[in-house]
Amino acid sequence: MPIIKRVTSLSDGRELIYFDDADTTLGPHRPADPREPRPRPATPVIRQDPLTGEWISIAAARQDRAFLPPAELDPLAPSTPGFATEVPAPDYDVVVFENKSPSFGPGLPAPNPHHRGRHDADAAGGELTGLGLGRELPGYGRCEVICFGPQRTGSWADLSASRARTVVEAWADRTAELSAIDGIQQVYPFENRGPEIGVTLHHPHGQIYAFPYVTPRTRALLASISHYGPALMQDILDFESKSERVLISGEHFTAFVPFAARWPVEVHVLAHRQVPDLGQTTDAERDEIAGIYPRLLRALDRLYDSPTPYIAAWHQSPVGQGHAGVRLMLQVTSPRRAKDKLKFAAGAETGMGAFIGDIVPEQGAARIREALSELDLRRDHWLRGSLRHAARCCLVRTWPGQPHR
């Protein structure tokens, strides 16, 4: 059975999309949002910092967003008769909806008939180029929340294989759909996990930002590609694949600790082919992501005796610039440098953007490889036990009443 996408809307007009697992037990019916419609917040503005040329979103409506509510008031849980949440259904597999307190949007620019969906980012963002004082524009765009399941606690690493594949499909779907909106220049799926990162909801979830500009990090990458040449990301893959920092070598992706890791825990997962974003991955590539990603997260959780906080960031090409050499890459980073110590982006990092690494990348990679090996041993032990149990049951059924070995 395929993963099924069901599109509906909330009472205030926000789009809500259910993604049903391939092996879902849910029926097709989804109840309507029973809440009274409330007005959407005003579209924020973006202002340019003339010192860097970067655009800053001024989204005052986010100041009043939910902050670590108790479990019974979880706004991402399924609705119950006594408490209507952001998800009207009494149960769901994966759900995506527009953020009630967005950093960009809900306003979108008027459609441009000349762009026809995917478009050239520089042509679409002419107003965003250049530098000046007091420059301010509407903060067009879209911000979505993606819930990894109805459970109020847990993490991505706890998902079943089927559920993990559904989340990957949702990421790919939303990347393609949001990239087709005029004025959107980059789509960014990400997840913040853990109070140390600053999460405001415990419910396992991520977000998807559709930016009206190309982000500073990606502009820096484009500049590096322009200076080095279009083969930069392939050469990085070849260089890292020969190193002791490799963690997982798949058919379509390689996971490694980068040569110049900034954070105490940092893992990059780089595509083997020149695929610009999740929306243009194949089914086989999505299958592999759904296997590699949770395996990495489980290994990171074994580094210490409590869950590892992290930021998982999908770096994708700007919309319409797949030819520019930017290749799909996942970057997972954690500030945890010891059992009870965190690395803070303090004076040098925040003030100058100059990172100082606390852990040698090769040593960090060795620790993660050890955790992966432990996971593999546990899995093999479980499989052997399951096979022995199945064999005993088979003997009992085949020769009832007879002794078996």
**Would you name the residues annotated as active-site residues?**
205
Conformation bin of residue 167: beta by default, left when phi > 0, alpha when psi is -120 to 50: alpha
20: β partners: 4
Cβ distance 138 to 125 under 8 Å?
no
Cβ distance 357 to 349 under 8 Å?
no
- Of the candidates 25, 96, 21, the one whose C-alpha atom is nearest the C-alpha of residue 290 is 21
* Angstrom distance (rounded) from CA 102 to CA 267: 28
Query: Can the peptide bond before residue 106 be classed as cis, meaning omega within 30 degrees of 0?
Result: yes
- DSSP string for 135-161: -EEE---EEEEEES-S-SS--GGG--H
DSSP H helices, 207-336, are 216-228, 232-241, 283-301
* Angstrom distance (rounded) from CA 325 to CA 274: 7
Token couple for 59? 């989204």
- Of the candidates 266, 281, 343, the one whose C-alpha atom is nearest the C-alpha of residue 312 is 266
- Of the candidates 142, 129, 138, 108, the one whose C-alpha atom is nearest the C-alpha of residue 214 is 129
DSSP annotation of 87 reads B
Q: 209 φ, ψ to 5°?
A: -105, 135
| Helix orientation angle between 283-301 and 361-398, rounded to the nearest 10 degrees | 100
